[in-house]
Amino acid sequence: MSLYDEAEKAWANRDLHAAKKLAERFLGICPSHAGALMLLGICEAELDNEGVALHLMLAAINHGAKDAQSYANLGGLFSRLRLEKPAQEALTKALEIDPNNLMALANMAGTFVNEGNPEPGIAWADKILAAAPSDPGGHGHWNRALLLLESGRWGEGWDEYAIGLKTGRRVGYRAYPGTPDWDGAPGKTVVFYGEQGVGDEIMTASMLPDARKLCEDVILDCHPRLVASWKRSFPWLKGVYGTRKDKVINWHTATHFDASFALADLGGLVRRKAEDFPKKPYLKPDPERVKLWRKRLGPGPHWGIHWRGGKRNTNYHYRSLDLEALKPILEMPVAWHSLQHNNTLASAAENRDERRAFEAKHGIWIDHRDDVVDDYEETIAFTAALDGVVSVCTTLVHTCGALGKTCLVLAPKGIAWRYGLSGEEMPWYGPWVRMFRQKGHFEWDKVIGDIRDELEDRITAPDRMMERVA
């Protein structure tokens, strides 16, 4: 067996590091081998080294890898890098060679996710299901789910979203051995488990009161950062366990329940049309912490600012700005407080250095407290104590929505389904969360100007400059 054959075998067994090393060794012998270049590119992409992967895949195609699968791989990588035009060009070539190439069809549908134009993507997802009704890999149903939810077709979208959990496209954190999935029948004790990020859990927890009406008892397996918040907000829960990310748990063997269910899948039961969203606050902060923060902050107005969200694979570049771009907002007579967390491409040190440079250049102080952003109970209480928040699309928006706290959202054109495609409101929250939407990708100037105007209307003493908060 050649090194290349061994590399392909390692890849088939999902041993990425072994496949990468073997492909590299083989390329040391045959540096122009198209198959090995493409395989190494796939490995680098899977290991989140997209820039290296792109050059390897382009080299593979230049050296003769001009089959449908190679163009499908390249198109998928372009899409992942949010380079939609070259992605669609590569995928069109793949489909010219093989009109039923499932990866090309899936990646083509994916190029329309979060792009503000879901209908063509839905049509491509339908082609996947027509070409392969069994939908191996689940790409057809998953892309269709995201695109339907994005377009506000809630009932259909939730049905497809639930399929994503079964096919593995959507990762569920919790499996309880021997426990069936809840079938929606009333009168049972059900464990609902959160998934995805903290923001998604906060958003979907708005459906827990609906679960209470359907179930005899409700148990919540949640993110460890939210245990105290959910106990306080929903005191009627039979149990709250912060173990949804743990590989091993022990509480379930001593706790009676009849079934388990993904919290987000409640949408398929209780949020099937726009009118089903109650848009009421439901997250209760610790009142003593809020009182303490208001005392410490003193006279306002006090506003929070969050300017970067996401990671490379969650559209960081769409929902992140530099402080310099936000200067028209930050120069308003407001005491600004950084609520910027550190779980993005920018490190805590980079965020700190940016704040200091901005302060030195413009004389505008942005207060930042590590104790606030490191403890989400503190984040919630601190946010509740503020007059309002300006934020990109990130967990903080959901926190404000759940609290009933004013949030002015810098909304990109390439936006996730949770935020809706149009209008000033999100589907999940009331008018206290106001969307300021881009007309085109990276066109922030009007959004920033509109938020500045909104702030000016809200500030009761616009001529009074705020002092630095101690």
Percent of the chain with pLDDT over 90: 82
Residues 6+ apart with CB under 8 A from 223: 194, 198, 201, 242, 244, 245
CB 438 within 8 A of CB 413: yes
Residues in the chain: 470
Taking residues 424-448, report their average pLDDT.
Answer: 95
Q: Is the pLDDT of residue 130 over 80?
A: yes
Q: Dig out the tokens for 25 from the structure.
A: 């060794």
Residue 343, pLDDT > 70, answer no
Q: What is d(CA 270, CA 290) in angstroms, rounded to the nearest whole number? A: 32
* Predicted local confidence at residue 463, as pLDDT: 43
| Residue labelled with tokens 């959901």 | 398
Residue 175 pLDDT level (bands cut at 50, 70, 90)? low
Residue 439 CB partners (closer than 8 Å, separation 6+): 413, 446
Count CB neighbours of 430 within 10 A. 15
Task: Give the type of residue at 388.
Answer: G
Helix (H, G, I), strand (E, B) or coil at 94: helix
Mean pLDDT of the chain: 92
Three-state secondary structure call for residue 466? coil
Find, among 400, 469, 446, 417, the residue nearest to 144 by Cα: 417
Token pair in block for residue 40:
């190494």
Same fold, 3-167 and 287-458: no
At residue 220, what are phi and psi to the nearest 5 degrees? -120, 125
Domain-by-domain residue ranges, the chain?
3-167, 189-276, 287-458
pLDDT of residue 38: 97
What is d(CA 324, CA 330) in angstroms, rounded to the nearest whole number?
9
Distances (CA, A) of 407 to 48, 260, 401, 428, 445: 33, 34, 8, 13, 19
What pLDDT does residue 467 have? 33
Token representation of residue 372 = 């606030």
pLDDT at 191: 96
408 near 321, Cβ under 8 Å? no
Dihedral through CA 328, CA 330, CA 334, CA 335, nearest 10? -170
For residue 312, what pLDDT band results from cuts at 50, 70 and 90? low
- Report the C-alpha gap between 446 and 458 in whole angstroms: 18
CA–CA distance from 379 to each of 217, 226, 311, 384 (Å)?
Answer: 29, 11, 20, 9
- Residue 261's DSSP bridge partners are 192
Q: Give tens-digit pLDDT for 239-290.
A: 999 998 888 888 988 899 999 999 999 999 999 999 999 999 999 999 999 9
The yes-or-no verdict on residue 346 having pLDDT over 80 is no
The whole-model pTM stands at: 0.91
Instruction: Quote the pLDDT of residue 446.
Output: 97
Looking at domain 287-458, which of 3.40.920.10, 3.40.50.2000, 3.30.420.40, 3.10.100.10 is its CATH number?
A: 3.40.50.2000
Q: Does pLDDT of 158 surpass 90?
A: yes
SS3 433: strand
What pLDDT shows up at residue 313?
Answer: 66
Instruction: Summarize the confidence of residues 220-241 as an average pLDDT.
Output: 97
Reported confidence tier of residue 10, pLDDT bands at 50, 70, 90: very high
Q: At residue 83, does pLDDT exceed 90?
A: no
What's the CATH code, domain 3-167?
1.25.40.10
pLDDT band at 468 (very low <50, low <70, confident <90, very high): very low
Amino acid identity for residue 149 in this structure: L
Residue 20 has pLDDT above 70, yes or no: yes
What tens digit of pLDDT does each residue of 402-411 get?
A: 999 999 999 9
Residue 465 confidence class, pLDDT cut points 50, 70, 90: very low
> What is the rounded distance in angstroms from the CA atom of residue 160 to the CA atom of residue 154?
10
* Residue among 187, 189, 185, 139 nearest 164 (CA): 139
- Residue 466 pLDDT > 50: no
d(CA 132, CA 103): 11
**pLDDT (average), residues 44-73:** 95
Q: What is the DSSP string of 358-370?
A: HHHHH---EEE-H
Q: Where are the beta strands (DSSP E) in 322-432?
A: 335-338, 366-368, 388-392, 407-411
Half-sphere exposure in the Cβ direction for 118 (13 Å, CA): 20
Q: Average of pLDDT values for 303-326?
A: 88
Are 244 and 222 a contacting pair, CB within 8 Å? yes
Phi, psi for residue 463 in degrees, rounded to 5: -90, 0
Average pLDDT of span 1-30: 94
Q: Would you say residue 365 has pLDDT above 60? A: yes
Higher per-residue pLDDT: 355 or 460: 355
The count of other CB atoms within 10 Å of the CB of residue 9 is 14
Q: For residues 185-202, give the mean pLDDT.
A: 94
Provide the pLDDT for residue 469: 30
- Nearest by Cα to 394 from 339, 458, 336: 339
Single-letter amino acid, residue 395: T
